[in-house]
Amino acid sequence: MHSFRYQGGSLHCEDTNLESLAREHGTPLYVYSKATILDHYRRLAAGMSELDCLICFATKANSNIAVLNLLAEEGAGFDIVSAGELFRVEKAGGDPGKCTFAGVAKTRKEIEYALDRGIFSFNAESEAEVRHINEIAGEKGVKAPIAFRVNPNVDAKTHAKITTGKSGNKFGVDFDLVRDAYARAAELPNIEVRGLQMHIGSQLTTVNPFVEAVEKVGPLVEELKSNYGIEFFSIGGGIGIVYEDSLDSGDLDWWSQGQNRALTIEQYSEKLVPLLKPLGLKIILEPGRYMVGNAGVLLTEVVYEKQGTTKTFKIIDAGMNDLIRPTLYEGHHDIVPVKEPSGTKTEIVDIVGPVCESGDFFAQNRELPSVDEGDLIAVLSAGAYGFVMASNYNSRPFPAEILIDGETAHVIRARQSFDDLIAGETIPA
Ligand SMILES: *Cc1c(COP(=O)(O)O)cnc(C)c1O
């Protein structure tokens, strides 16, 4: 479900008119729907209700503390990839005892911080990391809970830059080496072996790679349970979302429309719960994109139109520094006018930003309803890996972020000022 639809000729998020919102707060502007985020969380929790399941939101997908707070209030845990994310989670009211810490390069400072805060588990990506954690835990006189991230060597069949579970990827410990890694870790005096984790990739649009990975790793999990008494098995995140024709489904329940669209929670739970339940362990899920992707849009204004000999460019006031997915992952985002198109007039256009890079585009050779200079457009499904990947490149201040709750718009991050841009910089005397 998502909460973006036309009402009275203008795109709305829940009961808020996005035309008025953009005129009030300026563009580019990120807008998130509270109802959509909560719906996604509750839908997944319901699908997994037969399991002892902890949903650890992948903080990196959208780490605004207001978004984290919504999920913390629902009882979610958090998958973090840095000490900075753990800081955010706590500021948002999240429980460090429900945090798992992923990442291939955890530093001494980060390990110390996470130990002090009492996280649920370090999901370790190498034996060297576990030796390091053991040493630091020893200095503090504590036992550190760890799991290894296993690389199951299955093909997630997603974009190369978001595939993580093949043996050629830098993530996790190779499936064939992980038993020995556990045996050595269990010998370390300051380590408590608590679980096993995997995460095979992002934006998976069928359940099959998850099934393949769980079937492959399941027997190992049972072995580790009997040898070391592990408590949990995390199957990672990666649930894919709809990026195309996402508005057409309006407020219809697209998750149950199924059929070559996104992976539905029904398909996901129907296949996975029967495989996971017999393990008799706490199951952890680490969804990021699923939770917030379709819950956000980026509003932007058409600044100029430029007719070339071969192309028509619509130049907008948002750039790749605000949303990098199109150029980084060849990510498709639907783009719609905020004012509901009255006719059927369309044009084949490139939607490009102001940044001095040819990679600064949002759509190429795309047929879109005609829009004029000064019109607002919405880049859909921008709630995950959107603002969090923004930079100040070209000295462009970060956009503001708004959380919509019905008719109420909360500014959850103020637009940066020029002074913010140079904060911390000094000219040597
Ligand atoms: C990024 C990440 C996730 C979340 O992936 P999504 O595709 O956004 O669900 C989960 N676990 C780990 C370890 C990750 O790095």
Co-location of 151 and 240 in the same domain? yes
Which amino acid is located at 191 in the chain?
I
In a domain, 247, yes or no: yes
What pLDDT is recorded for position 159? 80
In a domain, 341, yes or no: yes
In a domain, 429, yes or no: no
What pLDDT is recorded for position 158? 81
Which residue, of 288, 307, 322, is where some domain finishes?
Answer: 288
Query: Cβ(360) to ligand 1 under 6 A?
Result: no
Which residues constitute the domain of residue 328? 4-13+21-29+294-421
Mutation probe of ligand 1 site: the residue of 202, 241, 325 with most atoms within 8 A of C-beta: 202
Co-location of 281 and 316 in the same domain? no
What pLDDT is recorded for position 182? 98
**Beta partners for residue 197, in sequence order:** 149, 234
Co-location of 360 and 275 in the same domain? no
Co-location of 214 and 318 in the same domain? no
Q: How far apart are CA 129 and CA 146, in angstroms?
A: 10
Atom in ligand 1 nearest the alpha carbon of residue 240: 7
What pLDDT is recorded for position 250? 46
What pLDDT is recorded for position 259? 40
| 418 SS3 class | helix
Which residue, of 245, 266, 288, is where some domain finishes?
Answer: 288
Q: Tens digit of pLDDT per residue, the chain (429 long)? A: 579 999 999 999 999 999 999 999 999 999 999 999 999 999 999 999 999 999 999 999 999 999 999 999 999 999 999 999 999 999 999 999 999 999 999 999 999 999 999 999 999 999 999 999 999 999 999 999 999 999 999 988 788 777 787 777 889 999 999 999 999 999 999 999 999 999 999 999 999 999 999 999 999 999 999 999 999 999 999 999 988 877 754 443 333 343 446 789 999 999 999 999 999 999 999 999 999 999 999 999 999 999 999 999 999 999 999 999 999 998 999 999 999 998 889 999 999 999 999 999 999 999 999 999 999 999 999 999 999 999 999 999 999 999 999 999 999 999 999 999 999 999 999
Q: Which among 304, 301, 309, 314 is positioned nearest to 349, based on CA atoms?
A: 314
Q: 356 catalytic, yes or no?
A: yes
Mutation probe of ligand 1 site: the residue of 148, 268, 286 with most atoms within 8 A of C-beta: 286
Co-location of 143 and 95 in the same domain? yes
Co-location of 320 and 247 in the same domain? no
Q: Which among 60, 107, 130, 283 is positioned nearest to 122, based on CA atoms?
A: 130
Query: Cβ(289) to ligand 1 under 6 A?
Result: yes
CATH number at residue 372: 2.40.37.10
Co-location of 111 and 192 in the same domain? yes
Mutation probe of ligand 1 site: the residue of 56, 79, 158, 294 with most atoms within 8 A of C-beta: 79
Query: Cβ(237) to ligand 1 under 6 A?
Result: yes
- Cβ atoms of 207 and 157 closer than 8 Å: no
Atom in ligand 1 nearest the alpha carbon of residue 201: 7
Co-location of 206 and 320 in the same domain? no
- Cβ atoms of 352 and 319 closer than 8 Å: no
In a domain, 428, yes or no: no
- Please, what is the Cα angle at 326 between 153 and 212, to 5 degrees? 20
In a domain, 427, yes or no: no
Co-location of 85 and 125 in the same domain? yes
Q: How far apart are CA 285 and CA 272, in angstroms?
A: 11
CATH number at residue 50: 3.20.20.10
Co-location of 225 and 136 in the same domain? yes
Number of domains in the chain: 2
In a domain, 79, yes or no: yes
Query: Cβ(201) to ligand 1 under 6 A?
Result: no
Co-location of 321 and 281 in the same domain? no
Query: Cβ(285) to ligand 1 under 6 A?
Result: no
Q: How far apart are CA 266 and CA 263, in angstroms?
A: 8
What pLDDT is recorded for position 324? 98
In a domain, 353, yes or no: yes
Query: Cβ(102) to ligand 1 under 6 A?
Result: yes
- Please, what is the Cα angle at 339 between 334 and 343, to 5 degrees? 90
What pLDDT is recorded for position 156? 82
Which residue, of 288, 306, 322, is where some domain finishes?
Answer: 288
Co-location of 193 and 322 in the same domain? no
- What tokens were used for 318? 């948002």
- Cut 0.75: pTM above it: yes
In a domain, 426, yes or no: no
Q: What interhelical angle do 127-140 and 108-117 show, nearest 10? A: 60
